[in-house]
Structure 1
Amino acid sequence: MLKKLDSALRWSTGLMAAMALFALMWLTLVDVTGRKFFSNSVPGGLEITEILMVIVIFGALPMVSWRGEHVVFDTLDALIPDWLREIQARVVHLICAATFGFLGRLMLMRADRFAEYGDTTVHLQLSIAPVAWLMAALLGLTGLVHLLFVFVKAPVPEHIPFPAAADRTAP
């Protein structure tokens, strides 16, 4: 079951974030080239960049949580017994689930307000509400990922260890 969820997340949020990042790369290239050589930038380029950044950041959140690729401070982990570390992980996932769920609810309320007021971007007049609804949905999905890991042990991430200072050779 976890492999199917991994595949579903990879092909939904992972692909969405990757496509947004790719579009952001090309938008930046065209915008900078236009400014440098043609003294003209992409109309609404900043607004499109902001929307694409939202998609990249919030689209990556569920995948980062699923794969356990967060920044982790494990200074005291060597002192904590394995049985307590397991409980600690589940409590942390519960707190994360509650936090992401709460943030998703706040964003949903904000998105509804954007829709009610008809808020749009300044230059392109794009509605802000769909972007905020997407943010709320992705925050909620991230919360669900953490909630799942309260009950099911999270897959062990495949980390590449950072070389220790002692392993580095001086030039």
Structure 2
Amino acid sequence: MDRVITHIRQMIEYLLMFSLLMMVVINFADVTGRHLFNHPIFGIQDLTEHLMAVVVFCGLPLVTMAGTHLTVDLFDKLTQSSGMRWWKQVITLLMTVILCLISWTFLQSALEAHSIADVSPELRLPRAPLYLLMACSAVLSALGLLYISYYPSAKAQANLPSSSGGEL
């Protein structure tokens, strides 16, 4: 199980790194072409938009598995007590449901975009695969959250902090 999760995590990391590298390269080429040759790259907005979505939604399961989402630690002392362990379970289940709803919404968007052949304005890139990637990312995030919350060795393997950080 751990090998599969490590392999999936590495694939997501490589896709994220490649997408980020491509964003840097095409934007550098666009700025260079615009300023030196007075000729920008056609469709740079479409490419940047799609690559930015890939970067953000590749980062979502990675951040979830690492347990590094932005948190507010105002009530950490209260919620870390032994009598409030149920609260962490409720929050985990609520976050899982929300991630599944996000995935469902993007899946519906992917099906609709496929049925109407929705494409980007300049390069005519199909939007359905991008929405499907977003839906898969949200599902992986939900599964990753359940994995680090309920699989005993996952928290130690991910080096998760016991609290969200700062104390008030």
Is 2:145 the counterpart of 1:142?
no
Q: CA separation in 1, counterparts of 2:128 and 2:55?
A: 17
Structure 2 residue aligned with 1:27: 26
Is 2:96 the counterpart of 1:101?
no
Structure 1 residue aligned with 2:122: 123
* 1:59 Cα deviation after fit: 0.5
Contact 1:9-1:62 at 8 Å conserved across structures = no
Which sections of structure 2, spanning at least 5 residues, go unmatched? none
* 1:10 Cα deviation after fit: 2.9
Q: CA separation in 1, counterparts of 2:59 and 2:69?
A: 11
Q: Normalising by the residue count of structure 1, what TM-score does the alignment of the two structures yield?
A: 0.84
Choose 35-44 or 82-91, whichever is displaced more.
Answer: 82-91
Q: CA separation in 2, counterparts of 1:149 and 1:162?
A: 18
* 1:80 Cα deviation after fit: 3.5
* 1:148 Cα deviation after fit: 2.6
Structure 1 residue aligned with 2:60: 61
Partner amino acid for 2:160? P
Q: CA separation in 1, counterparts of 2:109 and 2:160?
A: 34
Structure 2 residue aligned with 1:157: 160
* 1:88 Cα deviation after fit: 2.6
* 1:79 Cα deviation after fit: 3.2
Q: CA separation in 2, counterparts of 1:56 and 1:24?
A: 9
Q: CA separation in 1, counterparts of 2:118 and 2:31?
A: 28
* 1:85 Cα deviation after fit: 5.1
Identity %: 25
Structure 2 residue aligned with 1:37: 36
Decide whether aligned partners of structure 1 residues 111 and 81 sit closer, same or farther in structure 2, where only a CA change above 3 A counts: closer
Decide whether aligned partners of structure 1 residues 89 and 42 sit closer, same or farther in structure 2, where only a CA change above 3 A counts: same
Partner amino acid for 2:41? V
Any idea what SS the aligned residue of 1:95 has?
helix
Q: CA separation in 2, counterparts of 1:58 and 1:48?
A: 15
Contact 2:57-2:137 at 8 Å conserved across structures = yes
Which sections of structure 1, spanning at least 5 residues, go unmatched? 165-171
Contact 2:15-2:58 at 8 Å conserved across structures = yes
Q: CA separation in 1, counterparts of 2:12 and 2:130?
A: 14
Q: Normalising by the residue count of structure 2, what TM-score does the alignment of the two structures yield?
A: 0.85
Partner amino acid for 1:108? L
Aligned residues: 162
Q: CA separation in 2, counterparts of 1:150 and 1:114?
A: 34
Give CA-to-partner distance per residue, 1:63-115, whole Å, 9 cap, x none. Answer: 00000111111122123443245433222221111001011011101110100
